[in-house]
Amino acid sequence: MAKICKVGKDNQIYGDFTRSGRHYVYYHCLPDNGEVFYVGLGKNNRCNQINQRNVYWKNVVKKHGFIVRIFCCDLAIEEAVFIEKELIKLWKPKCNLTNGGDTCFPTNCIPVYAYDKNGIFFKRFSSISEANSFLGSSFNSPKIGKCIKNQLFSYKGYFWKNYYCEKIDPPKRKPIYNIKKVYRYNLDGTFLKSYEKVCDFNEGSRTGISNSLDKNLTYYGSFWRSYYKEKIEVPVVAPALKPSKKVINLISGEIFPSVTKAAKHLNCCRSVLERKLNGQRKNNTTLQWLKM
């Protein structure tokens, strides 16, 4: 018998089963005659969703609409798969393309194994969701999966694997910082000091040293190398920009330090004044370049 639930907008149904994180088996039927045309399993709000449905399901719903019913809930994934297959076999709904057992949560359904800090087997869980429930975590927390993929060291004090062993070798934690020896040089390339590891330099950021290591970049007023030399070659500093050409007023004798200042004094466009001074346009001003 279908479970009675609250009916919301557009005949969507809600209840504790949509918030528990446990699987349930649902079916969709036609509003006019109650014919079951689809059986599925899911969790959360999957029974109400219209996305990720096959084209036959969409055609039926577009023409007739649908009503959602929950057959049973609060199930483990293995129980939900078994019931879904039996209902499809019994009812033969026309919009199911397989015999059931296909789930949208494949990564959450693999068995996982917990090991204590010594690497000794602790407990087997039939799914990641079950393990999260045991640990008091969110049922869809991805951290156990990251441990299995070696993207995370441990979770909740346990090591996690997707295979069983009586005892495993606890993984070694990766060093947080670069431990290679680094050498500091001043701006002239003269050796100043060495550090056994980057984190020994406590005045600035370790990232800044790593980004400038063995490059012609400075950090904290120094060059950094992964090798020792009494003196290193430093990059040639680019020459400073030439000072701006000065402009003189032939009538008043006033000297402007740049064409920009002269244009501002005349309240005209700088580029136009520069063309006039260069002879590219007729110079109708009393200004010209000051010869040095």
Query: What would the pLDDT profile of 75-105 be if each residue is shown by its tens digit?
Result: 888 888 889 999 999 999 999 888 887 654 4
CB of 260 within 8 A of CB of 270? yes
C-alpha 280 chain-centroid distance? 56
Contacting residues for 252 by C-beta, under 8 A, at least 6 apart: 286
Instruction: Answer yes or no: do 15 and 50 share one domain.
Output: yes
Dihedral, 148, 153, 155, 160 alpha carbons, nearest 10:
30
Mean pLDDT of the chain: 82
Tell whether 124 is covered by a domain.
Answer: yes
Q: Which amino acid is at 154?
A: S
Phi-psi region of 220 (alpha: psi -120 to 50; beta: other; left: phi over 0): left
Residue 8 pLDDT more than 80? no
CB of 225 within 8 A of CB of 187? no
- For position 239, what pLDDT does the model report? 59
Instruction: Answer yes or no: do 33 and 58 share one domain.
Output: yes
CB of 277 within 8 A of CB of 259? yes
Instruction: Answer yes or no: do 76 and 49 share one domain.
Output: yes
Distance of alpha carbon 289 from alpha carbon 246, whole angstroms = 6
Instruction: Answer yes or no: do 154 and 118 share one domain.
Output: yes
Instruction: Answer yes or no: do 124 and 48 share one domain.
Output: no
Of the residues 65, 91, 117, the one at which a domain ends: 91
- From 241, 157, 149, 225, select the one nearest 186 (Cα to Cα): 225
- Which residue intervals of the chain are DSSP H helices? 55-64, 77-91, 128-135, 143-148, 206-212, 259-266, 270-277
Instruction: Answer yes or no: do 136 and 64 share one domain.
Output: no
Report, as an integer, the average pLDDT of 21-39.
90
For residue 41, count CB atoms less than 10 angstroms from its CB and return exposed for 0-12, middle for 13-18, buried for 19 or more.
buried
- For position 4, what pLDDT does the model report? 42
Instruction: Answer yes or no: do 83 and 122 share one domain.
Output: no
Query: Tens of pLDDT along 250-270?
Result: 888 888 888 888 888 888 888
The kind and range of the H/E element at 6 are strand 6-7
Residue 1 pLDDT more than 80? no
Distance of alpha carbon 112 from alpha carbon 143, whole angstroms = 12
Of residues 60 and 243, the one with the higher pLDDT is 60
- For position 204, what pLDDT does the model report? 66
Backbone torsions φ then ψ of 163, nearest 5 degrees: -145, 165
Tell whether 209 is covered by a domain.
Answer: no
Give the pair of three-digit tokens for residue 89.
């076999």
Tell whether 285 is covered by a domain.
Answer: yes
Tell whether 276 is covered by a domain.
Answer: yes
Total of domains in the chain? 3
Tell whether 225 is covered by a domain.
Answer: no
Residue 134 pLDDT more than 60? yes
Distance of alpha carbon 38 from alpha carbon 96, whole angstroms = 6
59-63, 178-182, 190-194, 245-249: segment of lowest average pLDDT: 178-182
Percentage of the chain modeled with pLDDT above 70: 84
- For position 292, what pLDDT does the model report? 63
Tell whether 175 is covered by a domain.
Answer: no
Of the residues 91, 115, 134, the one at which a domain ends: 91
CB of 197 within 8 A of CB of 178? yes
Instruction: Answer yes or no: do 69 and 30 share one domain.
Output: yes
- Residue 165 binned pLDDT confidence (cut-offs 50, 70, 90): confident
Residue 158 pLDDT more than 70? yes
29-43, 125-139, 196-210: segment of lowest average pLDDT: 196-210
Range of the domain at 281: 247-289
- For position 174, what pLDDT does the model report? 58
Distance of alpha carbon 50 from alpha carbon 34, whole angstroms = 19
- From 73, 28, 76, 31, select the one nearest 54 (Cα to Cα): 28
Tell whether 56 is covered by a domain.
Answer: yes
Instruction: Answer yes or no: do 11 and 56 share one domain.
Output: yes
Contacting residues for 279 by C-beta, under 8 A, at least 6 apart: none
Tell whether 118 is covered by a domain.
Answer: yes
